[in-house]
Amino acid sequence: MLTRKEPTPEEGFEPSLAPIYSARDLSESIPRYRLPDGPSSPRVVAQLIEDELNLDGNAALNLASFVTTWMEPEAKSLMARTLSKNFVDAEEYPQTADLADRCVNMIADLFNAPDETGATGTATVGSSEAIHLAGLAMKWRWKKLRGEAAASATPNIVMGANVQVCWEKFARYFEVEPRYVPMTPTRYILGVDEALSLVDENTIGVVGILGSTYTGEYEPIEELASALDQLQSERGLDVPIHVDAASGGFVAPFINPDLAWDFRLPRVKSINTSGHKYGLVYPGIGWALWREADLLPQELVFHVNYLGGDHPTFNLNFSRGSSQIVAQYYNLLRLGRQGYAKVMGALVSTATWISSELEATGRFTLLSKTDALPVVCFKLTSAERWSVFDLSAALRERGWIIPAYTLAPNASEIAVLRIVVREGLGRDVAETLLSDIRAAVERLDVGHVPAPPVTRHKRAAATGHAPRHHNPGRGVC
Ligand SMILES: *Cc1c(COP(=O)(O)O)cnc(C)c1O
């Protein structure tokens, strides 16, 4: 989201893009914020943009994000060859539509959807879209079950204060009251008793997160399911669980196959996962799944005929690219269960190794757990003259992007650093990272003050276009 920039005549020039060597081909500079009057040479423009993008961080050193930064050349080539296909044109591209169907089937099976219930699902741009759809389905289901009473009631949704920002968006965009279970100084995920105490007859669902964005921990979904089963037998309230498995959906089935978090629990009615996180696909692909087709209110499914044929759609967007769907299918075939298990096993072992090395310094305490996402989340063991924010900035000097942030309320006095272990962060790179962390700590100990990195937000603040502040932990995905 960006604010329109005005040219700044008082600076004596209009912001423009003109690398010196392009003077060979450019007769005029290209304005930065205004559509140029005429065309320019493709070579010059491509070079210009490439030069500018060099200022972005290095994706391989970006340990802030869960999102895939490396794919095999064969996958990339398939993606490039399918860029021109609009996924919504199922009539024109029936094979592409079929690949998406196969992905839904494979993922539903991976999440142990019972054969007899007719699980259903859809490809989305990411988990955020999947969550909006699943949230809407819960809201409509609640409305139907509540009948007349729904008209004068406000629906609510119960979730930990550690939810990713898309849940806050869902609640606000679709007018559902968010009921947050606060964290405590020692609990950074949902507390089951605390969640149950917020549930009432207007609760459309309870969210369980498989892999908290903040610490990588898995929420106690099985325990939550039993508690809600008991609530139903005692008070007759039938409240579904939606599992936000944005990250864990492609980790837990391979690393903790016995952990019952998915459709094995009848209480779990819908699940989202991000194909572009541990599904190992470049961004934008996510999946939304329901254990039974009946959980999807038919009012939410639209049928269009103007592309030829009749195609049901349940998505926020109409047009979207096909290449991420093709790439997801590629990964599923290419890796299979054993391949994913091997990759995830390697990531977990790298995360475990980094964790033990950090602990061995005596300066850091881990908040992440070993039976969780391959994420290393750590805080300072005792107060230092410097903070985790200083360490984050010091590491940035070497190119590492490792965010520091505070935990969700009421644990927000705890500031942490988080390393997301993804493919690409192999043992060799991890060793360099560790030695850079030790060196940065030494420099901070002797009073080195790193320059704060120039982020887009800071640049925006300098120009008076500061975005609304929100907890940085929530925005980190
Ligand atoms: C990343 C993430 C999201 C948002 O997913 P996108 O695929 O980026 O839209 C939602 N919930 C959790 C727990 C996440 O980690």
Specify burial of residue 222 (Cβ count, 10 A radius: 0-12, 13-18, 19+).
middle
- 210 Cα nearest atom in ligand 1: 13
Provide the greatest CA pair distance for the chain: 79
Measured in Å, residue 116 CA sits from the centre of ligand 1 at: 29
Helix intervals (H) in 162-240? 165-173, 192-196, 221-235
Please spell the DSSP secondary structure of 84-149, one letter per residue.
T-BTT-TTT-HHHHHHHHHHHHHHHHHTT--GGG--EEEEESSHHHHHHHHHHHHHHHHHHHHGGG
Measured in Å, residue 467 CA sits from the centre of ligand 1 at: 21
Q: Does residue 166's CB lie within 6 angstroms of at least one atom of ligand 1?
A: yes
Q: Does residue 244's CB lie within 6 angstroms of at least one atom of ligand 1?
A: yes
Instruction: Among 213, 214, 272, 280, say which to mutate for ligand 1: greatest number of ligand atoms within 8 Å of CB.
Output: 213
Token match 């009073």: residue?
A: 447
Secondary structure of residue 159 in the 3-state scheme: strand
Q: Which pLDDT does position 30 carry in this prediction?
A: 82
Measured in Å, residue 275 CA sits from the centre of ligand 1 at: 10
- The answer to whether residues 100 and 89 touch, using CB atoms and an 8 Å cutoff, is no
Neighbouring C-beta atoms of residue 356, cutoff 10 Å:
11
Judge if pTM exceeds 0.85. yes
pLDDT tens figures, 33-84: 999 999 988 998 998 899 999 998 888 889 999 999 999 999 999 999 999 9
| Alpha-carbon span 218 to 355, nearest angstrom | 17
Secondary structure of residue 233 in the 3-state scheme: helix
pLDDT tens figures, 200-233: 999 999 999 999 999 999 999 999 999 999 999 9
Q: Going residue by residue through the chain (477 aa), what tens digit of pLDDT does each one get?
A: 777 776 565 555 566 666 555 556 666 778 889 999 999 889 989 988 999 999 988 888 899 999 999 999 999 999 999 999 999 988 889 999 999 999 999 999 999 999 877 889 999 999 999 999 999 999 999 999 999 999 999 999 999 999 999 999 999 999 999 999 999 999 999 999 999 999 999 999 999 999 999 999 999 999 999 999 999 999 999 999 999 999 999 999 999 999 999 999 999 999 999 999 999 999 999 999 999 988 999 999 988 777 677 778 899 999 999 999 999 999 999 999 999 999 999 999 999 999 999 999 999 999 999 899 999 999 999 999 999 999 999 999 999 999 999 999 999 999 999 999 999 898 899 999 999 999 999 999 998 777 766 665 555 544 444 433 344 455 555
Q: Does residue 219's CB lie within 6 angstroms of at least one atom of ligand 1?
A: no
- Please give the angle made by the CA atoms of 171, 173 and 175, to the nearest 5 degrees: 55
- The answer to whether residues 225 and 238 touch, using CB atoms and an 8 Å cutoff, is no
Q: Does residue 82's CB lie within 6 angstroms of at least one atom of ligand 1?
A: no
- The answer to whether residues 213 and 476 touch, using CB atoms and an 8 Å cutoff, is yes
Cis peptide before 112 (omega within 30 of 0): no
- The answer to whether residues 65 and 424 touch, using CB atoms and an 8 Å cutoff, is no
Specify burial of residue 160 (Cβ count, 10 A radius: 0-12, 13-18, 19+).
buried
Domains located in the chain, CATH noted: 1-50 (no CATH), 76-331 (3.40.640.10), 345-463 (3.90.1150.160)
